[in-house]
Structure 1
């Protein structure tokens, strides 16, 4: 019996925690009338402490995790100097598609309004960033004191400081091996700490869900369903409208031919929920489409590191969900800050399951939103993580195809099915 429990994945445990928290919250809301047991013992102590401790553990991770990840991520792309034009084009397309993804998510959630009706304004104290002009928003990105920004969790200056350090480490690679190694080891430590903290996620999610629905009842269910709908709609638009459109505009190739041959990779990404594990299959399938391995061996691993369009869509919907749930009106400058932060966060998001929830803290903090809402949506994130991973790897492949075409490294006869590439001509990754 114990072995069966050990085989249940963390994502499924979080889902179980969400469902149990929802049920317990409803029971407290409708059937438990004793205020001492309901309010004092459970809601104000057990559930409050359990949920708050978990949220604080996640907030504890954000600054060091993001800072180390961004430094390591930027420093690791020093090969751009060798690949030249290909590297610049690749990064430009990756950042463009991520910006489009987060913008689409904000628009969808702004129209559907998934957070309305949740009425959580009295359940947490927001610390909304003061509205400021576009000029001030840009100026304040540059840190006056980077150490102070790190200590206070002011994420935009932290990101910029991390990017600058990463660029310098990439430029001075031979002279800064020790410092580079330090950040790599720091990143490894923070990823391991993230894994440890996430083991407590089922308990934290249970407490947060029970506390929330003990006060809201069934009326809190519809906003969650609308949030799921927003994310899935955004992912579908990104995968089947944005990507094909960019592909047609930049290459004039038929996207239907691409999807027919790439669908197996999307299913694998969906089932594994990790971009990194999909790298070998992604490269192999692109080789079968006529993409040069010289291009894909650079663009696909890079995409698994910095191209997180699906994650950006989730973060955009989550920001609007939280703002609407807490009755916070995000201004134009705040939304632009969200777009910029989410794009930069994609550089520091590792291609492993659910790590986007940790960097979501960073996006929330950039505009002062309460992070309590993350615990509410965390229970359903495992399912959404599967869909957004499929979108992430599709974006990597589409970008690779475009870069390969524009650098004349794509065999058009192979892509169009006029010629089959021989199996022995494919340099299988890892063999």
Structure 2
């Protein structure tokens, strides 16, 4: 994006910590929008769109990375050979199952179960991670919120609607 990553992290840290601890992209939505508009210089329309779109479809952590990672880990245990066809099928299933994943804690668990059952992999093996699921979910949620913030910032920059002065100011403003 061509922006200072240290300044970006400082300006988004509050919302990312909230997302991490709450494990809810939906709960972090107001802070996400405020962070984009008040701290990063993203216009309100772009911030609203990127935050809400990221909440429903753009959940890379919950709907993309985690179900695919889990399927790759479970397949060898279930004596399923990981070949080109398996990977292509996995990608297709993950993409289709990613639409409409709920932005609440544990939403990725349901997406993972859907992917495993569609690929005829034993769903019960997902239970091994249930004990540490909240810890995994914290990271996924922060990743999802960060992705929607980056999408808004990138869109504002590409459309030349980005307020660089707001981003570069040392004023952080209080989020409510």
Q: TM-score, with normalisation over the residues of structure 2?
A: 0.90
- CA distance in 2 between counterparts of 1:363 and 1:369 reads 8
Task: Please say if residues 337 and 366 of structure 1, whose CA atoms lie closer than 8 Å, have aligned partners that are also in contact.
Answer: no
- CA distance in 2 between counterparts of 1:411 and 1:340 reads 38
Give the aligned length.
Answer: 174
- Give 1:308's aligned residue: 59
- Give 2:41's aligned residue: 290
- Give 1:381's aligned residue: 133
- CA distance in 1 between counterparts of 2:148 and 2:22 reads 16
Q: How many Å apart are 1:417 and its aligned residue?
A: 2.2
Q: Which has the higher helix share?
A: 1
- CA distance in 1 between counterparts of 2:169 and 2:96 reads 38
Question: Cα deviation per residue 1:101-140 (whole Å; 9 max; x = unaligned)?
Answer: xxxxxxxxxxxxxxxxxxxxxxxxxxxxxxxxxxxxxxxx
- CA distance in 2 between counterparts of 1:329 and 1:292 reads 48
- CA distance in 2 between counterparts of 1:347 and 1:258 reads 28
Q: Which has the higher contact order (CA 8 A, sep 6+)?
A: 2
1:281 to 17, 24, 31: 31
Asked whether 1:400 is paired with 2:162, we answer no
Q: Which runs of 5+ in 1 are unaligned?
A: 1-246
Flag as ranges the 4+ runs of structure 1 deviating above 6 A.
none
Asked whether 1:411 is paired with 2:163, we answer yes
- Give 1:54's aligned residue: none
- CA distance in 1 between counterparts of 2:96 and 2:149 reads 21
Q: Which runs of 5+ in 2 are unaligned?
A: none
Matched residue SS, 1:347? coil
Q: How many Å apart are 1:366 and its aligned residue?
A: 2.9
Q: Following superposition of structure 1 onto structure 2, how do residues 176-255 of structure 1 map, counting pairs within 5 Å?
A: 247=1, 252-255=2-5
Greater Cα shift, 309-318 or 261-270: 309-318
RMSD: 2.0
Q: How many Å apart are 1:274 and its aligned residue?
A: 0.5
Q: How many Å apart are 1:348 and its aligned residue?
A: 1.8
Q: How many Å apart are 1:340 and its aligned residue?
A: 2.2
- Give 1:337's aligned residue: 89
Asked whether 1:355 is paired with 2:107, we answer yes
Q: How many Å apart are 1:333 and its aligned residue?
A: 1.5
Q: How many Å apart are 1:368 and its aligned residue?
A: 1.6
2:11 to 261, 269, 274: 261
- CA distance in 1 between counterparts of 2:42 and 2:84 reads 41
Asked whether 1:364 is paired with 2:116, we answer yes
Task: Please say if residues 282 and 300 of structure 1, whose CA atoms lie closer than 8 Å, have aligned partners that are also in contact.
Answer: yes
Question: Cα deviation per residue 1:225-247 (whole Å; 9 max; x = unaligned)?
Answer: xxxxxxxxxxxxxxxxxxxxxx3
Task: Please say if residues 304 and 351 of structure 1, whose CA atoms lie closer than 8 Å, have aligned partners that are also in contact.
Answer: yes
Q: How many Å apart are 1:359 and its aligned residue?
A: 1.7
Task: Please say if residues 33 and 44 of structure 2, whose CA atoms lie closer than 8 Å, have aligned partners that are also in contact.
Answer: yes
Q: TM-score, with normalisation over the residues of structure 1?
A: 0.38
- CA distance in 2 between counterparts of 1:267 and 1:339 reads 30
Matched residue SS, 2:14? helix
Matched residue SS, 1:379? helix
